[in-house]
A and B are shown apart, each in its own frame.
Chain A
Amino acid sequence: MFQTPDFKNNSYENELPFATRVLCAIVIGALGFGLIAALILTENISSSLPALVQQKLTQSGVQNPVTAVLLNFRSYDTLLEIGVLLTVAVAMLPNANFNSDINPDMPGGNRSSGRLVSVVNSAAGNPPLEAFLRWLIPMIIVMAGYMLWTGTALPGGAFQSGALLAGAGVLAQLSGRIQFCFTSTTAKLLLTIGLITFVMVAIGVATTTGVVLQYPLELAAPLILLVESAATLSIAAILLLSYNTLATQVFESPSEHSTFEHSAFDKQPSDVTETSAPNETLQSQTAEDPKS
């Protein structure tokens, strides 16, 4: 797989030479001061854009100027943003292993299991955390819904609401009781629904107004809400997928080390049986260590 960078914690070994560091400091300092000076010297440009947005706000279907810019006036940018997020999700999906090593008793430990959320009953629980999460997670979900709804008039919107939902998912996963399987069909649907809805709306409005992503005036508000709801689900799923991948990912190195240990074992006259799972190999290595 990818080569993981070797970060050495609290070590002074891999430092650059002193002269190089001084040179870097001078260059970076000069660049920083140049940027600060440029910022100070630049005159305050009075842009006409805020006034223009306020003037056209009644045609956008929403009352919040930020949402109006993001979902109506410049919705092409938001469409591309969701596309970028989906690309991230696609890049991460191969690593999103549904780790049956961690929870061997899981129902449907294979990747093709069709359930997005599964409850782990065998996991060692943390009762205070679970009791707290039972209160907290529904509140977060309601808050996310509120933030999505209020995004049309007040600060809020799809990204904030999606991040809240993903936070609820992270908390649920941290409790150890809930596991998400992002290779299931439901998860794939959730990951893509934002982009699919956005593109369909973009093409759909083009048939009536003639321009892609130009909403008809009377339909602007419901269409924006539809796009935002779908985008919220997708953003939450993608953020949760990235956390899920990092939190449960098993890098290649354990298996590499297991092969290394096999070769080390070959020199010793030990009767280690050949095991398929690298974990057992590691444990037999642990058992052998004190003798050698």
Chain B
Amino acid sequence: MNFNILIDSCLVIGILTLACLCLATRNLFTAIVLFVSLGLLIAIAWVRLDAPDLAIAEAAIGAGLTGALLLATWRQMRVERAHGDADSPKKSGGENVSNP
């Protein structure tokens, strides 16, 4: 019983901390990584709440695929910024540009 309460309180504190950090951080990449970690903790929380269906869905979609989508978008934005900055010296025109 005490052990369960310990795990649950750790989960609650961890989820709240990760959520606050995810919103407070200014680095987009850090925010994405924190969001994925938050999704994993929420998946564990669903298991603790006896909802394994939701836990599987959260782990697969919430943490896994959303993380991949966010990272793809983040990379796309970085490429775009590399194209857009006219002042900064360009290296090879970004990652999307093929070198002939």
Contacts and interface: CB of A to CB of B under 8 A. Distances in A.
A135 interface: no
Interface of A: 4, 7, 9-10, 66, 99, 101-102, 104, 147, 155-157, 159-160, 163-164, 166-167, 170, 239, 242-243, 246-247, 249-251, 253-254, 257, 260-261, 279-280, 282-283, 285-286, 289
A156 B28 CA distance: 33
A283 B28 CA distance: 28
Nearest to A101: B98
Nearest to A70: B53
B69 A159 contact: no
A155 B52 contact: yes
Interface in B46-100: 52-53, 55-57, 60-61, 64-65, 68-69, 72-73, 75-77, 80-81, 83-84, 86, 89-94, 96-100
Contacts of A242: 69
Contacts of B99: 283
Given A9-B81, A101-B97, A163-B61, 19 more contacts: A10-B26, A102-B96, A104-B98, A155-B56, A156-B56, A160-B53, A160-B57, A163-B60, A163-B64, A167-B60, A246-B76, A250-B96, A261-B86, A282-B83, A282-B97, A283-B93, A285-B90, A286-B90, A286-B91
The binding surface of chain B is classed by DSSP as helix
Contacts of A170: 65, 68
A164 B65 CA distance: 9
B60 A164 contact: yes
A214 to B, nearest CB: 24
B27 A10 contact: yes
